[in-house]
Amino acid sequence: MSEQQTVQPDRRTERRVVIVGAGMAGVQTAVALREQGFTGPVALIGAEPHQPYDRPPLSKAVLLGTAEGSAFDIDFEELDIELQLGRDVTGVRADAHELDTLAGPVPYDVLVIASGAEPVMLPGSEGVPGVHLLRTLDDAARLRPVLDQQHTVVVVGAGWIGAEFATAARAAGCEVTVVEAADLPLAGVLPAEVAAPMARWYAQSGAELLTGAPVARIEPGSVVLADGRTVAAGAVVVGIGARPATGWLAGSGIALGPDGSVTTDAALRTSLPDVYAVGDCASFPSARYGTRLLVHHWDNAVQGPRTAAANIIGAGADGASQLLTYDPVPYFWSEQFDRFVQYAGHHGDADTLLWRGDPADPAWSVCWLRDGALVAVLAVGRPRDLAQGRKLIEAGARLDPVRAADPAVPLKSARVDAP
């Protein structure tokens, strides 16, 4: 090649990727683009003014004051990722390939929606003094004095976040009452027979659990239940669920599901060209489970961005590259009441439930099978069951139900089909 000959860059690789949401899913998308060789401009827009941070420590170390923050250890400047923090995105004009923000329009060539989820508020609780959520770094900062001063705390909702906060509050010496509208904790998440043993964990930790107790209203200093009972509350923490933070997409033409999630295809593309969605705000079709999944957990926010980044790069390279599909085995964990709880899979259409161990013991597991194949596993203090079970689910392995129900038999040894 002569000195006059130069290789011109493929301008399609210089497309500008704009990511809305600076949580785990957004950050991981930006990082994955760079790790996979994307050289074009990447902008990461976050509504919060803080340096991007991880959320799980908020209900643990940050809340208890054993860590000051959980900022990602990522050199965004070194990676040439443009951060636009403290900037609210209010809409998308897909025809113009622009985002609307209060500070003016932001152009994009490729848009990645990673706006996460937002907590569901208890009707009538907005503006009541002493009512808290636990979703952001600022929420955790406001709650730390509550724990430091050992207030009497009422937690509304006995889901994952309610249990984790109750655990932290008890560790801080607070008197804790958890009120749950359903008859058991984790209602709608786990079958009643699996959730029932978990209800006992509250009393064992010194927290009071009131089930079948819908909240009528919250007043300063108390929570009034639907049956007329009043529970004293120096502070109230509402943890009744979360929903995709997608209200800003109204009128954009981007299709949303009945649950408010951005509905993507298996490649994490939305209904509009050049727009992808990842993390808590997006649902995707699972061939493994034959249904659309909306997964509000950390692992999904780490794994999905790698697929989205690869597809963005592949589409930009020649427009005809084979797209990667995203069909993970969902996974999450929860630390509560001195127990490490892990779950992998999706048990929605399982036909068999197997216990491994006695739920009265410190460690036990539950397996769900469909047509003999393992589809989900819940492990309490049995990390080996989870690790082996996750691999078996990925392989679509069939299990001998008798051996699988024996906690002394390693799960992998209960497999009946050839590995």
* pLDDT over 90 at 105, yes or no: yes
Ramachandran angles phi, psi of 190, nearest 5°: -125, 150
What is the layout of strands, in order, in the sheet containing 152-156? 131-132, 235-238, 152-156, 175-179, 208-210
CATH topology of domain 121-240: FAD/NAD(P)-binding domain (3.50.50)
The predicted structure's pLDDT at residue 61: 75
The half-sphere exposure of 254 on its side-chain side, counting CA atoms within 13 A, is 32
* pLDDT over 70 at 13, yes or no: no
The predicted structure's pLDDT at residue 68: 65
Structure tokens at 254: 């981007």
pLDDT band, residue 117 (cuts 50/70/90): very high
Closest CA to 335 of 178, 158, 168: 168
* pLDDT over 80 at 394, yes or no: yes
pLDDT band, residue 85 (cuts 50/70/90): very high
Question: Which CATH architecture group holds 11-118+243-317?
Answer: 3-Layer(bba) Sandwich (3.50)
* pLDDT over 60 at 10, yes or no: no
What is the C-alpha to C-alpha distance for residues 245 and 261, in angstroms, rounded to an integer? 8
Q: Dump pLDDT digits (tens) for 319-353.
A: 556 899 999 999 999 999 999 999 999 999 999 99
CATH class of segment(s) 338-414: alpha beta
What is the C-alpha to C-alpha distance for residues 206 and 196, in angstroms, rounded to an integer? 17
Structure tokens at 119: 């907590």
Q: Where are the domains of the chain?
A: 11-118+243-317, 121-240, 338-414
> Do 11-118+243-317 and 121-240 agree at the fold level?
yes
pLDDT band, residue 11 (cuts 50/70/90): very low
- Report the mean per-residue pLDDT for the chain: 92
Share of the chain above pLDDT 90, in %: 85
DSSP H/E element including 161: helix 160-171
Q: Dump pLDDT digits (tens) for 218-247.
A: 999 999 999 999 999 999 999 999 999 999
The half-sphere exposure of 81 on its side-chain side, counting CA atoms within 13 A, is 25
* pLDDT over 70 at 4, yes or no: no
What is the distance in angstroms between the CA of the first residue and the CA of the last residue of the chain? 52
* pLDDT over 80 at 403, yes or no: yes
Ramachandran angles phi, psi of 7, nearest 5°: -90, 120
13-31: burial string, b at 16+ Cβ within 10 Å, e else: eebbbbbbbbbbbbbbbbb
What is the C-alpha to C-alpha distance for residues 180 and 202, in angstroms, rounded to an integer? 12
* pLDDT over 80 at 6, yes or no: no
165-183: burial string, b at 16+ Cβ within 10 Å, e else: bbbbbbebebbbbbbbbbe
What is the C-alpha to C-alpha distance for residues 238 and 155, in angstroms, rounded to an integer? 6
Share of the chain above pLDDT 70, in %: 94
Amino acid, res. 59: S
Length of the chain: 419
The predicted structure's pLDDT at residue 263: 98
What is this structure's pTM? 0.92
Q: Dump pLDDT digits (tens) for 150-207.
A: 889 999 999 999 999 999 999 999 999 999 999 999 998 999 999 999 999 999 999 9
Three-state DSSP class for residue 329: coil
The predicted structure's pLDDT at residue 7: 38
The predicted structure's pLDDT at residue 418: 63
Give the distance from CA 192 to its chain's centroid. Answer: 23
What is the C-alpha to C-alpha distance for residues 105 and 91, in angstroms, rounded to an integer? 10
What is the C-alpha to C-alpha distance for residues 77 and 308, in angstroms, rounded to an integer? 22
**For residues 169 and 153, is the Cβ–Cβ distance under 8 A?**
yes
DSSP 192: H
The predicted structure's pLDDT at residue 374: 98
The predicted structure's pLDDT at residue 199: 97
The half-sphere exposure of 41 on its side-chain side, counting CA atoms within 13 A, is 11
DSSP string, 221-262: TEEEETTS-EEE-SEEEE-S-EEE--GGGTTS---B-TTS-E
Question: CA distances (Å), 266 to each of 24, 263, 320, 412, in order?
Answer: 20, 10, 16, 29
Q: Dump pLDDT digits (tens) for 287-314.
A: 999 999 999 999 999 999 999 999 999 8
pLDDT band, residue 2 (cuts 50/70/90): very low
**For residues 195 and 173, is the Cβ–Cβ distance under 8 A?**
no
